[in-house]
Amino acid sequence: IYQKTLPPEMPALLYDMSQEYKTNIMTYLDETVITPKKDDKYVELESRINKMAVREVKDFKSFVNFPVTKCLMVEDGDYLAEVEQKVKARLGDTLSVLRSEPFFLEIMPKNIDKAYSLGKLLEHLGLDKAQMIACGDGFNDRSMIEFAGLGVAMANAQEPVKAVADHVTVSNDEDGVAVVVEQFILGE
């Protein structure tokens, strides 16, 4: 329905920054994670969570010559919080820079987030946000939880996500989304 990509020169610049800040980096091509370092616990986690293959490329800058919706810098959370501030200082005027998880720093086009995307979907469907329920647990879910008519945080969500939610349900591991569907849509 809607897609916006990074400026073509940005993946190479982000790769250089990842080297400068000593983080790994990844992006996506179709259903594959692309990274210069496959043997990374956070790349492996992303692959496992999203059931995506991982392709290690020796020359990330040359290989990534296709439209990219986002890149992720990955590293331990405390250090990545410092990197986030440095990246925001350098690119925050032109790109959206946020952590979706403590160890995932997402860099994507400005003003592209889940709330914006859901707004485009509602427009396409001819619906109002009051008719929408959004569920999430990550930092990158905050905007859509605030945007939706009913914003729901999972029990395992970070505290800032819970703070903006209208409702907190059980965790992902306890089928939180199914509980929300049963409770608020099916009325069970």
Residue 113 φ/ψ region, left for φ over 0, alpha for ψ in the -120 to 50 degree band, beta for the rest: beta
pLDDT in tens, 20-48: 999 999 999 999 999 999 999 999 999 99
Fold of 114-185: Rossmann fold (3.40.50)
The neighbouring-strand residues paired with 163 are none
In three-state secondary structure terms, 44 is: helix
Of 169, 167, 186, nearest to 177 (Cα)? 169
pLDDT in tens, 98-111: 998 899 999 999 87
pLDDT at 61: 97
Cβ neighbors of 44 (< 8 A, separation 6 or more) are 54
pLDDT exceeding 90 applies to what percent of the chain?
87
| Residue 120 φ then ψ, to 5° | -65, -40
pLDDT at 113: 82
pTM score: 0.77
What are the residue ranges spanned by the domains of the chain? 10-109, 114-185
What span, in angstroms and rounded, lies between the C-alpha atoms of 54 and 127?
37
CATH of 10-109, one of 3.30.1240.10, 3.30.1130.10, 3.40.50.620, 1.10.3080.10: 3.30.1240.10
pLDDT in tens, 63-76: 999 999 999 999 99
